[in-house]
Amino acid sequence: MSHTDKNKLAEGAEKASWKLALDGVCYEHICQPEGSWLLGSVLPGYGQFLPLDHHPSPEELASLGTRGIWLARESSPAPKLAVMCCGQGSVWPGMGRELYDNFPEARAAMDRLAACSSWDVLGLMDERDVETIGLTRWQQPYLFMLEYAQWSLYLARGLKPDFICGHSLGELIALCLAGVYEPEVGWYIMETRSRHMADLEEKSRRETGMMGVYAGMDVIRELQGMWPDLYVSNYNTPEQSILSGPRDILAEARRWLRKKRIPAVILNITLAFHHPSMRVLRDLDYRRLMSLDMHAPKTPMLSCVTAGLYPDVQSEICRYIMDLDENSVRWVQCVEALWDRHGMRHFLEMGPADTLCGMVEKIRPEALCLSSSLRGHERDLVRKTLARLYSLGHLQKKSLFLAKSLQEKSGFEARIRDGHADVGDIAGRKDAAAGRCGIPKLRELLAKACGKKAEDLHGSMDLRFDLALRSSFFPGLIEEAQKLLGREVAFEDLLQVSTIADLERLFSGDLVEEGEEKTKEPMGRSVHRPFLACCVRKDVQEGESTERFRELPSNPCQRKILPSPSLEVVVVGQDDCLLASMVGSIASWKCSFTLCQGLPETRAVIAGMGGQARETTDSPSLLSGKTDILLLQGTGEDIFSIIRDSDCADGTRIILVEQNPTKEGELKDLWHSAQDSGCSLNAVMLDATADLDSPLVGDMLAATLLQGRAGLYYWKWMESEDDDTVCILPQPLLDDADNSPRVCPESRPLKSRTTPFSVFSTQISQDIFPALSALPQADGKAVTIPLGLHLEAQREAAILASPWLFASGMTDIRVHDLGSVQPGLVREARLEVDTGLWMNHDRVPSRMSHVMTSLRGISSSGRRTPQYETVVESTVIMTGSQMQIPPLWKEYACPAPSSRAVDTSDWYDTRGYANSFRLLEKVWLLDDHLLLATLAPDAILALSGIWAYDNSLFPRGRPSLFEANTACMPGLEAVLQAVTLHFDMDRPSVPCALNPSLMGFVRFGTAAYEPSLNLALRRCWDRDQVVRYDAQVTNAAGQCLVSINHLEYNALADEPEGVDEGCQQRP
119 domain residue, yes or no: yes
Cβ atoms of residues 830 and 794 within 8 Å: no
Query: How confident is the model at residue 496, as a pLDDT?
Result: 66
734 domain residue, yes or no: no
Query: How confident is the model at residue 140, as a pLDDT?
Result: 93
Query: How confident is the model at residue 766, as a pLDDT?
Result: 84
Res. 943: pLDDT tops 70: no
> CA 36 → CA 51, 714, 816, 987, distances in Å?
15, 59, 66, 76
Res. 927: pLDDT tops 90: no
- List, for residues 1049-1060, the tens digit of each pLDDT value: 988 765 444 433
Query: How confident is the model at residue 413, as a pLDDT?
Result: 53
Q: Based on the domain organization, do 867 and 777 belong to the same domain?
A: yes
Q: Among 252, 269, 286, where does a domain finish? A: 269
CA dist., res. 506 & res. 32, Å (int): 52
- List, for residues 329-365, the tens digit of each pLDDT value: 999 999 999 999 999 999 999 999 999 999 999 999 9
Q: Based on the domain organization, do 285 and 347 belong to the same domain?
A: yes
> CA 492 → CA 85, 125, 495, 496, 580, distances in Å?
35, 20, 6, 8, 53
Q: What is the CATH number of the domain that holds 449?
A: 1.10.1200.10
424 domain residue, yes or no: no
Question: What range defines the domain where residue 24 resides?
Answer: 3-74
Mean pLDDT of the chain: 83
- List, for residues 45-78, the tens digit of each pLDDT value: 887 888 766 678 888 888 888 888 999 888 878 8
Averaged pLDDT for residues 928-948: 70
CA dist., res. 186 & res. 148, Å (int): 10
555 domain residue, yes or no: yes
Q: Based on the domain organization, do 17 and 65 belong to the same domain?
A: yes
Q: Provide the 10 A C-beta neighbour count for residue 469.
A: 16
CA angle 309, 310, 312 (to 5 degrees): 120
Percent share of the chain, pLDDT over 90? 38
Cβ atoms of residues 947 and 771 within 8 Å: no
Helices (H), 392-461: 397-410, 412-415, 438-450
Q: Based on the domain organization, do 948 and 1019 belong to the same domain?
A: yes
- List, for residues 273-282, the tens digit of each pLDDT value: 888 878 777 7
Q: Among 250, 269, 288, where does a domain finish? A: 269
Q: Among 364, 391, 418, where does a domain finish? A: 391
1003 domain residue, yes or no: yes
CA angle 270, 1048, 976 (to 5 degrees): 155
Q: What is the CATH number of the domain that holds 761?
A: 3.10.129.10
Q: Based on the domain organization, do 249 and 332 belong to the same domain?
A: no
Averaged pLDDT for residues 175-187: 95
Q: Based on the domain organization, do 802 and 783 belong to the same domain?
A: yes
DSSP-derived letter for residue 1040 is E
* Burial degree of 36 (CB within 10 A; 0-12, 13-18, 19+): middle
Q: Based on the domain organization, do 58 and 148 belong to the same domain?
A: no
Binning pLDDT at 50, 70 and 90, where does residue 420 land? very low
Considering only residues 613 and 428, tell me which one the structure prediction assigns the higher pLDDT: 613
Query: How confident is the model at residue 510, as a pLDDT?
Result: 43
Sign of the CA dihedral with 987 first, then 991, 996, and 997 last: negative
CA dist., res. 28 & res. 10, Å (int): 12
CA dist., res. 338 & res. 164, Å (int): 10
Res. 429: pLDDT tops 50: no
Query: How confident is the model at residue 393, as a pLDDT?
Result: 93
Averaged pLDDT for residues 215-228: 93
Q: At 70, which helix (H) or strand (E)?
A: strand 69-73
CA dist., res. 848 & res. 878, Å (int): 6
Q: Provide the 10 A C-beta neighbour count for residue 308.
A: 13
Q: Based on the domain organization, do 360 and 294 belong to the same domain?
A: yes
1059 domain residue, yes or no: no
Binning pLDDT at 50, 70 and 90, where does residue 834 land? very high
Binning pLDDT at 50, 70 and 90, where does residue 319 land? very high
CA dist., res. 834 & res. 797, Å (int): 10
Q: What is the CATH number of the domain that holds 952?
A: 3.10.129.120
Averaged pLDDT for residues 635-639: 77
Binning pLDDT at 50, 70 and 90, where does residue 964 land? very low
Total domains in the chain come to 7
Averaged pLDDT for residues 708-716: 87
Cβ atoms of residues 584 and 610 within 8 Å: no
Query: How confident is the model at residue 896, as a pLDDT?
Result: 58
Q: Provide the 10 A C-beta neighbour count for residue 889.
A: 16
What 3-state DSSP class applies to 108?
helix
Percent share of the chain, pLDDT over 70? 86
Q: Based on the domain organization, do 541 and 613 belong to the same domain?
A: yes
Considering only residues 126 and 252, tell me which one the structure prediction assigns the higher pLDDT: 252
Res. 521: pLDDT tops 90: no
Query: How confident is the model at residue 416, as a pLDDT?
Result: 46
CA dist., res. 96 & res. 378, Å (int): 8
621 domain residue, yes or no: yes
Considering only residues 213 and 673, tell me which one the structure prediction assigns the higher pLDDT: 213
397 domain residue, yes or no: no
Q: What is the CATH number of the domain that holds 245?
A: 3.30.70.250
Cβ atoms of residues 243 and 262 within 8 Å: no
* Burial degree of 729 (CB within 10 A; 0-12, 13-18, 19+): middle
CA angle 959, 582, 654 (to 5 degrees): 60
Res. 164: pLDDT tops 70: yes
Q: Based on the domain organization, do 607 and 559 belong to the same domain?
A: yes
Q: What is the CATH number of the domain that holds 123?
A: 3.40.366.10
Q: Based on the domain organization, do 541 and 653 belong to the same domain?
A: yes
Query: How confident is the model at residue 513, as a pLDDT?
Result: 40
DSSP-derived letter for residue 341 is I
Query: How confident is the model at residue 966, as a pLDDT?
Result: 53
Query: How confident is the model at residue 109, as a pLDDT?
Result: 95
Binning pLDDT at 50, 70 and 90, where does residue 967 land? low
Residue type, 128: R
CA dist., res. 108 & res. 89, Å (int): 26
Cβ atoms of residues 813 and 756 within 8 Å: no
Averaged pLDDT for residues 633-660: 78
Q: What is the CATH number of the domain that holds 609?
A: 3.40.50
Binning pLDDT at 50, 70 and 90, where does residue 427 land? very low
Averaged pLDDT for residues 847-866: 89
Res. 4: pLDDT tops 80: no
Q: Based on the domain organization, do 1008 and 952 belong to the same domain?
A: yes
Averaged pLDDT for residues 214-221: 93
The full length of the chain comes to: 1067
Query: How confident is the model at residue 893, as a pLDDT?
Result: 60
pTM of the model: 0.85
Q: Nearest CA to 588 among 319, 314, 837, 239? A: 837
Res. 1064: pLDDT tops 70: no
- List, for residues 294-310, the tens digit of each pLDDT value: 999 999 999 999 999 99
Query: How confident is the model at residue 79, as a pLDDT?
Result: 92
* Burial degree of 195 (CB within 10 A; 0-12, 13-18, 19+): middle
Q: Nearest CA to 730 among 500, 590, 533, 593? A: 533
Q: Nearest CA to 880 among 495, 584, 653? A: 584
